[in-house]
């Protein structure tokens, strides 16, 4: 087999990539089996993390009943904050400290799954300071010393893919910045993906989730190749985000194709059964892909867009505070970002544009970034997404603070195929202000 010419080996450069696939159960009705799954992992008393809205839905009742039928004691923490903060993480950690739990469940979106990951980590291996495990340069990025207690993640959305990944994301209120924790031990023991849980998602939530899936996949596919990194001195210390690699390429391209073919109609027909499995499967594939390769500029910019929000209240979400849903905060940057990165690896952007459904007849490979960006903008308009970052409340006066909030996301920015610093980010936010 000959790998893509994108992967060329050189002296002193990385020559190997690691594959750490998540353990997944996928299929309609799979939530009803979680009692057996918990027993198999040795659980007898579990903490179930969710938010107040999801706590009232059938999916939580199904999980609780399945655990009860398996004679597993369950205590519910329903104070998860949508777009969690260090404050809400700490509340979840305190709940876990007091319960003598031997396992964790999360039912909901990425916020619930990430909160459960943090609670599991901070009670399994208590640090001296909260920021000890948080990614540098914001935190101390101390390594997690060993495995955590078992965690079964049950997503009720399809965008975050947190059930597949080894990261937990939150807003650090004091610094007004979104950051996270990244370590292989955070990956859940099992992800249970039941497409039936998507039945109640309204159109705006489907749109934000779908574009999150797309950006996960496309950023992964266009990230720097794993062979561009220096080989680490400690060969067991390869990063979670290792760069684009042939394993991730397979899943990310299929995820892009599924989103391009199905998202617009799914938003127009919320609740339609024909889209549920396709969308949830796309989210899983994207999670497998970026969980091994990484994301770059759109996500780095998104952390500032979400962290500095002032007065935006999205349709489809029940929130008592201003917020930009994660998928929205990413996609409003994506067209500008992919126009910028297109020249760095035009073939990859062209291939992604084709997979997304762009009309590439007669186009040159060099136009890949523009073709991809134009296709994204068309789909944003068809699904009523905000018109760039101005659509979520920002003006050009905010750009210096947005750049300041993005620059600390070096773990992501270094994955970009085109180098990006303060000047480039300033122009990118100007370009992302509006698209039509």
The CA distance from 424 to 130, in Å, is 32
What's the pLDDT tens digit per position in 267-280? Answer: 999 989 999 999 99
What's the pLDDT tens digit per position in 158-196? Answer: 998 999 999 999 989 888 778 899 998 999 999 999 999
Neighbours of 259 (CB within 10 A): 31
The CA distance from 210 to 114, in Å, is 19
Pairwise pLDDT comparison (341 vs 21), residue with the higher score: 341
CA 150 and chain centroid, separation:
21
Percentage of residues in the chain with pLDDT exceeding 70?
99
The predicted model gives 287-294 an average pLDDT of 93
The CA distance from 24 to 182, in Å, is 20
Residue 1 above 50 pLDDT? no
- What domains does the chain contain, in order, with CATH numbers? 24-198 (3.40.50.1970), 202-431 (1.20.1090.10)
Question: Residue 13, class by beta-carbon neighbours within 10 Å (0-12 exposed, 13-18 middle, 19+ buried)?
Answer: middle
Residue 2 pLDDT class (50, 70, 90 cuts): low
Nearest to 349 by CA among 391, 296, 413, 410: 296
Secondary structure class of 317 (helix, strand, coil): coil
Neighbours of 436 (CB within 10 A): 8
The CA distance from 241 to 415, in Å, is 8
Please give the radius of gyration of the chain, using alpha carbons only, rounded to the nearest integer. 20
Residue 230 above 80 pLDDT? yes
247 DSSP β-pair partners: none
What's the pLDDT tens digit per position in 3-28? Answer: 688 998 877 899 999 888 899 999 99
Sheet hosting strand 45-49, strand order edge to edge: 24-26, 190-193, 151-155, 103-108, 45-49, 73-77
The predicted model gives 118-137 an average pLDDT of 95
Q: Tokens 């009705």 — which residue?
A: 29
The predicted model gives 312-337 an average pLDDT of 92
The CA distance from 178 to 116, in Å, is 18
Residue 237 pLDDT class (50, 70, 90 cuts): confident
Residue 70 above 70 pLDDT? yes
The predicted model gives 211-233 an average pLDDT of 95
Rounded to 5 degrees, φ, ψ at 73 are: -75, 140
The CA distance from 26 to 58, in Å, is 18
Helix intervals (H) in 45-179 = 58-69, 86-97, 110-124
What are the residues whose beta carbons fall under 8 Å from the beta carbon of 420, sequence distance 6 or more?
Answer: 297, 340, 413, 428
Contact 214, 2 (CB under 8 A): no
Neighbours of 96 (CB within 10 A): 24
The predicted model gives 286-314 an average pLDDT of 94
Contact 405, 303 (CB under 8 A): yes
Q: For residue 55, what are the CA distances in angstroms to 24, 135, 214?
A: 23, 30, 28
Residue 325 pLDDT class (50, 70, 90 cuts): very high
For 159, half-sphere exposure in the C-beta direction (CA atoms, 13 angstrom radius) is 23
Residue 53 above 80 pLDDT? yes
The CA distance from 53 to 252, in Å, is 31
- Reported as type and span, the H/E element at residue 256 is helix 246-268
Q: For residue 248, what are the CA distances in angstroms to 127, 217, 242, 355?
A: 33, 9, 10, 15
């Amino acid at each position: 087999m000959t790998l893509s010419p994108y992967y060329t080996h050189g002296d002193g450069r990385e020559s190997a990539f690691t594959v750490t696939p998540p353990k997944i159960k996928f299929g309609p009705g799979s939530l009803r089996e979680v009692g057996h799954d918990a027993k198999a992992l040795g659980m007898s008393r579990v903490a179930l993390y969710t938010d107040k809205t999801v706590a009232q839905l059938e999916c939580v009742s199904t999980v609780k009943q399945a655990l009860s039928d398996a004679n597993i004691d369950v205590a519910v923490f329903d104070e998860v904050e949508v777009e969690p903060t260090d404050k809400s993480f700490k509340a979840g950690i305190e709940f876990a400290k007091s319960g003598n739990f031997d396992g964790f469940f999360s039912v909901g979106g990425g916020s619930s799954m990430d909160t459960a990951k943090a609670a599991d980590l901070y009670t399994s291996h208590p640090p001296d300071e909260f920021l000890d495990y948080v990614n540098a340069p914001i935190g101390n990025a101390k390594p997690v010393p060993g495995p955590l207690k078992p965690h079964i993640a049950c997503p009720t959305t399809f965008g975050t893919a947190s059930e597949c990944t080894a990261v937990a994301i939150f807003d650090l209120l004091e610094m007004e910045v979104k950051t996270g924790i990244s370590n292989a031990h955070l990956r859940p023991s099992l992800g249970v993906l039941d497409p039936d849980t998507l039945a109640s998602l309204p159109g705006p939530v489907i749109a934000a989730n779908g574009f999150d899936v797309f950006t996960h996949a496309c950023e992964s596919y266009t990230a720097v190749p794993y062979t561009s990194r220096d080989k680490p001195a400690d060969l067991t210390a390869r990063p979670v985000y290792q760069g684009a690699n042939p394993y991730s390429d397979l899943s990310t391209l299929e995820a892009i194709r599924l989103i391009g073919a199905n998202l617009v109609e799914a938003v127009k027909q919320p609740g339609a059964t024909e889209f549920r499995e396709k969308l949830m499967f796309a989210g899983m594939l994207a999670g497998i892909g970026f969980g091994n390769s990484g994301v770059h500029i759109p996500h780095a910019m998104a952390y500032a867009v979400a962290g500095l929000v002032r007065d935006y209240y999205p349709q489809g979400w029940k929130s008592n505070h201003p917020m930009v849903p994660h998928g929205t905060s990413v996609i409003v940057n994506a067209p500008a970002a992919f126009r910028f990165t297109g020249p760095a690896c035009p073939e990859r952007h062209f291939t992604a544009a084709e997979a997304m459904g762009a009309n590439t007849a007669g186009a040159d490979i060099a136009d890949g970034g523009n073709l991809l960006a134009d296709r994204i903008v068309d789909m944003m308009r068809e699904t009523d997404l905000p018109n760039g970052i101005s659509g979520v409340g920002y003006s050009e006066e905010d750009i210096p603070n947005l750049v300041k909030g993005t620059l600390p996301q070096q773990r992501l920015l270094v994955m970009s195929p085109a180098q990006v610093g303060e000047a480039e980010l300033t122009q990118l936010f100007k370009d992302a202000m509006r698209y039509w």
